[in-house]
Amino acid sequence: MRQDVKSRGVEWNQVQDGLYGRAIFCIFICASPQRVDSQAVGSVNSTENGLNLLLISSRGDSVVMKETLELEQLFKDINIDSLDSLSIQLEASTTVNIRQDNGECLVITSTSDNVIPRDNTQVTQCFQLGDLHWFGGSERATQYWPWERQNFSDYSYVTKQDANQGIADPYWFNSNGVYFLVDEDVPLFIDQNNLEENSLCFIAKNKAPYPEDATTLKLSYKLCKLSNAREAHEHAIKNYLGKPSGVIDERMIRHPVWSTWARYKKNVNEQTVLTFADEILQHGFNNSQLEIDDNWETCYGSFESDKSKFPNMKNLTDALKERGFRVTLWIHPFINVDCELIHSLATENDYLVKNTNGSTLNNWWDGVGGAVDFSKTEAVDCFQYLNVSEGMNPIGYTSKYMRAVSKFGPFVEVHCAQRTQDLPVFVRMIDKDSKWGFNNGLRTLVTTLLQMNTVGYTFVLPDMIGGNAYGSDLAMKELFIRWLQANTFMPALQFSIVPWDYDNETVEIAKKFTALHYQYSDLIIELARNSSEYGSPINPPIWWVDPDDSDAQAVDDEYLLGESILVAPVMEEGATSRDIYLPGGTWRDELHPDQDPIQGRTWLRDFPAALDELPLLHQDWIE
């Protein structure tokens, strides 16, 4: 819904004359303290220069107030010592406050007081994506890249099973150096390319999955302007997102993780695991560890091994250690209702998280149960936790869970993250399907890698090589090999589907690329240390070395290792060549080392890549 209304400027003597903006930042603020339906729409034109803030108050379909501020000068000339904020009253119950932060940023906070619980009050602020490219955002099953290609309709921005949203940090930045970071306590929904064409909207409302009985409503975020996308992301890391507090386990970098899941699913027992380990060794592969995945418990939440499958878990782990394997177990935060004694005890002692209706029951992929309340030390005495207040934002639960399990040791992997960039653990991609395309298949392996790195999760553990072979999906030989190649220069490899289930050629190709990964593991470890010191991505997008290159900004099927190695895997079925874009710099083709160096900002058309080849280019100054 667009409203054609006449705007008037806000008089403010700190804004100098002569400003102009070729981008308009439009915000609609709406409040309904008298239970009237409220709706708001606004837009931001993102072009090369200028930012104007348009504040609009509306009720239902009626715009009742519209104020315009020119913000460009706020980034440049405001003296914080003499004026550190600007407050605007929109109606009796809604206030917008704008203040500076960290020199390059504005903090924009819209607050509505005296909100009646469960009415239609919301604050909606939209900005047009324009003709720029956008990065960051959440992990998705359909992981389009750059971000402007995504679509959402009034979508709660929390980690959840829906659409594989395992990471949900509300952080976006664009190719012109502007970034947004929404505050953690905002009950955030997003709407993209739906409410407004070519726009991303932030919506704050006290609706499920957030607490619904709050009497105030706030939408607050940081709006920062740097010179380009790289500087914007580095600024966000330094000032807001944070960086890993340590380095991940080196053995997990050097050698593959082996999991029982994709190959065996729930059909695991002691003999299956020992046979799996013996096959790995017999075929000449190294390991970092062997993960016993789903269905080792007596019931979900017992954390007691099923004696019919694993008669003596300690003897099994000892036998695996003698074979040179470390051993990990898949765990989860749920206690299912059919785990009767434990679930009853947890319910009676109020140890389970309640939803907004007071129920502790959740449907998850392994049944119906409750999630352990990690805010209560009595509920989980194996975790050290800070207390969390009643009515906790769901973001708080994800963060608390992450901080608990990260204490298990140095070779932990987790499958969700939110505001936990500081933890030195592997964050694993949510399960991929054994498909080629953007329907959660191979094409999303690289785009998910880029998404994770550009929201600050640099210790990425990709999903199983070849996907998970769910349902009727089959990880065919070509898909398995191309998947392994695409994974080779990521921080770690994880097998479950095994190469010897195909043929000897697949085994030899798998050995070739696991050896290539090991060959570069010292560099990956060096980059991991660099990430813990500076927050730098291990696998940045290719524009990272040339942030003003608009062609590089749009590339979604290549990635870098550090700043010196460009990886361009083949990810189309049946293809034996591909187009490769090189950003600025001088590059050398590793598949054809006798050829002359290539100057960047150019396309290499129909670059050949046989089934056993991975296109790889180095910056020419790297030995």
Cβ density class 11-42: b for 16+ within 10 Å, e for less: eeeebeeeeebebbbbbbbbbbbeeeebbbbb
Mean pLDDT of 450-466: 98
User: Looking at the predicted structure, is the pLDDT value of residue 454 above 90?
Assistant: yes
Q: Regarding predicted confidence, which is higher, 351 or 15?
A: 351
pLDDT at position 483: 98
* Residue 88's pLDDT band (cuts 50, 70, 90): low
Q: Check if CATH label 3.20.20.80 holds for domain 250-331+393-528.
A: yes
Confidence at residue 79, expressed as pLDDT on a 0 to 100 scale:
43
Task: Indicate the helix (H) or strand (E) that contains 529.
Answer: helix 521-534
| Mean pLDDT of all residues in 1-8 | 26
Return the minimum-mean-pLDDT range out of 14-18, 58-62, 305-309, 362-366.
14-18
Q: Residue 121: its pLDDT value, please?
A: 81
pLDDT at position 257 is 98
For 380-405, the three-class secondary structure string (H helix, E strand, C coil) is CCCCCCCCCCCCCCHHHHHHHHHHHH
Query: Is pLDDT above 90 for 320?
Result: yes
Categorize the per-residue pLDDT at 189 as very low, low, confident or very high, splitting at 50, 70 and 90.
very high
Q: State how far the alpha carbon of 30 is from the alpha carbons of 37, 63, 117, 221, in Å.
A: 9, 9, 15, 17
For position 392, what pLDDT does the model report?
59
pLDDT tier at 13 (50, 70, 90 boundaries)? Answer: very low
Contact between 317 and 325 (Cβ < 8 Å): no
Looking at residue 536, its pLDDT comes to: 97
The correct answer on CATH 2.60.40 for the domain covering 8-241 is yes
For the stretch 496-541, pLDDT in tens is: 999 999 999 999 999 999 999 999 999 999 999 999 999 999 999 9
Confidence (pLDDT) at 56 = 46
- The answer to whether 371 touches 333, Cβ cutoff 8 Å, is yes
How far apart CA 570 and CA 454 sit, in angstroms, is 23
For residue 214, pLDDT over 80 is answered with yes
In the predicted structure, residue 236 carries a pLDDT above the cut 50: yes
Tell the CATH topology of 542-619. Immunoglobulin-like (2.60.40)
Residues of the chain with CATH 2.60.40.1180: 542-619
Q: Name beta bridge partners: 367.
A: 364
Using only C-alpha atoms, the chain has a radius of gyration, in whole angstroms, of 26
Confidence at residue 49, expressed as pLDDT on a 0 to 100 scale: 39
Please give the residue that has the higher pLDDT: either 486 or 53. Answer: 486
Q: Tokens standing for 358? A: 């007071």
pLDDT, residue 17, reads 25
Candidate from 104-113, 564-573, 610-619 with smallest mean pLDDT: 104-113
Where do we find the tokens 């607490």?
A: 211
pLDDT at residue 84, as a whole number: 53
**Residue-wise pLDDT tens digits, 303-315:** 889 999 999 999 9
Task: State mean pLDDT over 240-268.
Answer: 96
In this prediction, what percent of the chain has a pLDDT beyond 90? 64
Tokens encoding 136: 């960051």
Interatomic CA distance for residues 387 and 37, integer angstroms: 37
Residues near 59 by beta carbon (within 8 Å), at least 6 away in sequence: 30, 31, 32, 36, 37, 38
The confidence score (pLDDT) of residue 302 equals: 87
Segment 326-343 mean pLDDT = 91
Would the pLDDT of 167 be above 80? Answer: yes
The rounded distance, in Å, linking the Cα atoms of 224 and 222 is: 6
pTM: 0.88
Average pLDDT across the chain, whole number:
84
- Continuous segment of H or E residues that includes residue 56: strand 52-59
Mean pLDDT of 470-482: 96
Please report the pLDDT score of residue 128 as a whole number.
81
pLDDT > 80? residue 10: no
